[in-house]
Structure 1
Amino acid sequence: MMQEKLTEKALDLLKQLISIQSFSGEEDKTANAIEDWFKAFGIPFERIHNNVFAKNKYWDENKPTLLLNSHHDTVKPNKAYTKDPFYPHVEEGKLYGLGSNDAGGCLVSLLATFTYFYEIENLNHNLLMVASMEEENAGENSLRGLLPSLPKIDVAIVGEPTLMQLAIAEKGLVVFDAVVKGTPSHAAHPNDNNSIYNTIEVLEWFKNYKFEKTSKALGDVKMTVTQINGGSQHNVVPSQVELVVDVRVNDAYSNKEIADLLKSQAPCEIKERGLKLNSSKIDRDHPLVQSGIALGRTTYGSPTLSDQAALTCQSLKLGPGDSTRSHSANEYIYVHEIEEGIDLYIKILEGFIKQN
């Protein structure tokens, strides 16, 4: 009966979260709603900025800690929406609304799971629940900024839509700014060093470059030129063309290794914007993963980025919903996905942290 009640309350909270605008950096009202969840169940909590977090009742400093984390910020709705993104409603079993799939369904399911275990004694891990802000823009006050204020974390479940399959690895990200130079001139005059023409060869290099190391879980590093900018008027050859290069990094490389490789080999000037978004993984034989496998869950590597990039411990990405729906128009999550998600979260944790 407790699980049924928690599932009902989780769905109610998700509808409330959908109805509140919570773009990255503007999550104060959704943080209030999450506070209300903890108050309703008599669970002490803390709040730093719009991050809300709580510990299980029988916290023991001598035990390792399992983090349960998901975020309550959203991207802005795209122009293709035909439904009101802030109107939560169910049609044919689908709960529509901005943030329903990414990652509201995961968040409320983890809150329900944490609450289920909150008063259970003799767990072999502490439980730390964190509803975090600014995940979508990797902001300074996101989980990364909160970590120094949290207890030491030994292993984590990061709630993102995975169809409740086990994402045991996640690609990292490095964004590069590249510059292709040439000789500026009037378009009417000969110029054998046209920066735009020089860019053709550089683009071919990026298109064809292959990183040597592959990964069993994440495959190859994927490098993509995503932006190009050059020239300001029809009769002037520009001095340079600017490129943006998106590199999704597997767990065979650190972000610094990728940056060093490209800076030494690329046929143009190139500089990384930052190196903090590294790849993540958890061993397939980790007891947390094995608990999921025993319930029929499969393992895979995720190409998308999450708050896992902020963690240095082993972490598992797992949650209800489908990643392909994230950031899409008329975003939705199936009601049954949340029901099943809570049930599976509880069963996976029972196989990992609950003492018999």
Structure 2
Amino acid sequence: MYIKLLQQLIATPSLSRQESTTADILEQFLRERGLAPNRHLNNVWLKARNWVEGRPVILLNSHHDTVKAAAGYTRDPHAPDIEDGKLYGLGSNDAGGALVSLVATFVELENDASLGCNLILAATAEEEISGPNGIAAVLPLLGKVDAAIVGEPTLLDFAVAERGLVVLDGLATGESGHAARKEGTNALYLALDAIQAIRGHVFTRPSSLLDPTHATVTVLNSGTQHNVVPDRAAFLVDLRVNEQYTNEEAVEELQVICPTATLTPRSLRLQSSRISADHALVRAGRVVRPESVLYGSPTLSDQALMPFPTLKLGPGDSARSHTADEFIYVREIEEAIALYPKLLREAYPA
């Protein structure tokens, strides 16, 4: 049933901002099972019927949008064929397998009085672009949430931390002049001083789960002609933040070492995330799947937009995401459909 649902989703194009039809499919699937999902933009969400005030509220979230098909596809990206145990198609691995597994989990548990938490299911849009009309638009509608399982391909290992991202616009301002007379203040040189400082900077808060916070200058633009000293030099910085920093703290640390330029973040919303090793979900994970690895994820997900503890967990392999001839093993989905309920029952017994 849930494999067929995933096949239906794969067969339906759902690029970010164009997910209305897959939202229709998910909404109809849930209604056919006697549930009453809510729809907000291209997001489908609902609360469990077995809702008991005072219990922890756990969000089950994954996304139904996809990136564009890679140029190297040798198959139809929307043909959900199963061959040798592999289900092929765009969005199969990222993150359709996790999504349908969480849908299955919600359907199984949402009216079960033996579960000691309240469940919310949210199948959301625009994850691939961290857009404003995805999970960010849904969270204000959900009320208080205590923790979330975010469905992404992790090989069913437990991603307990995730890096944040900030893109910074760097600007050095000088004074124009004639190059032959050595006039003016060269903004390009000021920018290079700042870039050199960024290149040599070592952030001081190590992480046992993620690589160190680091910044990389990726674009530099300055000057108009050979004989004019440039009065402006603009550059871009890609800043990857581990869970020991907030984005604001990391930006401030960079600005201190760059007195010759101003650094302006385009957005601070994609924060790093972390869940404690003592959290009920993590403790339960060690019990129900002791072979799983606890690790820090280098890739972004909707975790970055959630202001509460989140555990990234799902079937599939992140290395297959966004690749040509994307696939997921059917057995991986079956394992996830079995694992998620065990995890929740262990973490939140009635």
**Structure 2 vs 1, CA of residues 94 and 226 (structure 1 numbering), >3 Å: closer, same or farther?**
farther
SS at match of 2:104: helix
Mean alpha-carbon deviation: is it higher for 17-26 or for 29-38? 17-26
**Could you tell me the TM-score, scaled by structure 2's length?**
0.91
Tell me what 2:14 maps to. 22
Aligned partner of 2:324 in structure 1 is 329
Alpha-carbon displacement from aligned partner over 1:221-247 (angstroms, at most 9, x marks no partner)? 121223333455677664433221111
**Residues 1:189 and 1:95: Cα distance change in structure 2 (over 3 Å):** farther
Shift of residue 202 of structure 1?
Answer: 3.5
Matched residue, 2:50: 58
Gap regions ≥5 residues in structure 2:
none
Tell me the distance in 2 between the aligned counterparts of 1:195 and 1:92: 60
Aligned equivalent of 1:300 = 295
Which residue, 307, 311, 317 being the options, matches 1:312? 307
**What does residue 137 of structure 2 align with?**
145
> How far apart, CA to CA, are the structure 2 residues paired with 1:10 and 1:213?
43
Change (3 A) 1:75 1:212: same
Tell me the amino acid that sits aligned with residue 163 of structure 2: K
Aligned to 2:78: 86
Q: What is the aligned counterpart of 2:153 among 161, 166, 172?
A: 161
Tell me the CA shift for residue 206 of structure 1: 2.0
Q: SS where residue 123 of structure 2 aligns? A: strand
Residue 3 (structure 1) aligns with: none
Distance 1:254 1:102 in 2: 27
Cα distance change, pair 180–95 in 1 and its aligned pair in 2 (3 A): farther
The yes-or-no answer on 1:273 pairing with 2:266 is yes
Distance across 1 between alignment mates of 2:164 and 2:145 = 20
Pair 1:119 & 2:119 matched: no
CA distance in 2, matches of 1:97, 1:231: 46
SS of 1:136's equivalent in the other structure is helix
C-alpha distance in 1 between matches for 2:329 and 2:228: 55
The one-letter code sitting in structure 2 at the alignment partner of 1:151 is G
Q: Conserved in 1, the CA contact under 8 Å of 2:197 and 2:257?
A: no
Name the amino acid aligned to 1:145: A
CA RMSD of aligned residues (A): 2.2
Deviates more, 1:228-237 or 1:114-123: 228-237
User: Hey, what does 2:90 align to over in structure 1?
Assistant: 98
Q: Secondary structure at the match of 2:50?
A: coil
Report Cα offsets for 1:198-236 as digits up to 9, x if no partner: 554443322221111112222411212233334556776
Residues 95/191 of structure 1: CA separation in 2 closer, same or farther (3 Å cut): farther
* 1:263 CA displacement: 2.1
Taking the aligned partners of 2:276 and 2:197, their CA distance within structure 1 comes to 35
Render the CA deviation track for 1:265-320: whole Å, top value 9, x for unaligned.
Answer: 22522111121221111111112111111121221111111111221211111111
Identity across aligned pairs (percent)?
Answer: 47
Q: Secondary structure at the match of 2:128?
A: coil
Q: For residue 303 of structure 2, give the secondary structure of its aligned residue in structure 1.
A: helix
Q: Give the structure 2 partner of residue 287 of structure 1.
A: 280
Contact 2:177 2:184 (C-alpha < 8 Å) held by counterparts: no
- After TM superposition, list the pairs within 5 Å mapping 1:104-253 onto structure 2: 104-182=96-174, 184=176, 194-196=186-188, 199-231=191-223, 238-253=230-245
CA gap of 1:263–1:119, structure 2 versus 1, over 3 A, is same
Distance 1:203 1:312 in 2: 32
Within 2, Cα distance between the matches of 1:242 and 1:139?
Answer: 26
Code of the aligned partner of 1:293: R
The separation in 1 between residues aligned to 2:92 and 2:217, in whole angstroms, is 31
2:121 partner SS: strand
Compute the displacement of 1:351 (Å). Answer: 1.1
Tell me if structure 2 keeps the 8 A contact 1:263–1:271.
no
Between 225-234 and 12-21, report the one with greater CA deviation.
225-234
The 1-side partners of 2:319 and 2:207 are apart by 23
Which whole-Å CA distance do the structure 2 matches of 1:92 and 1:183 have between them? 66
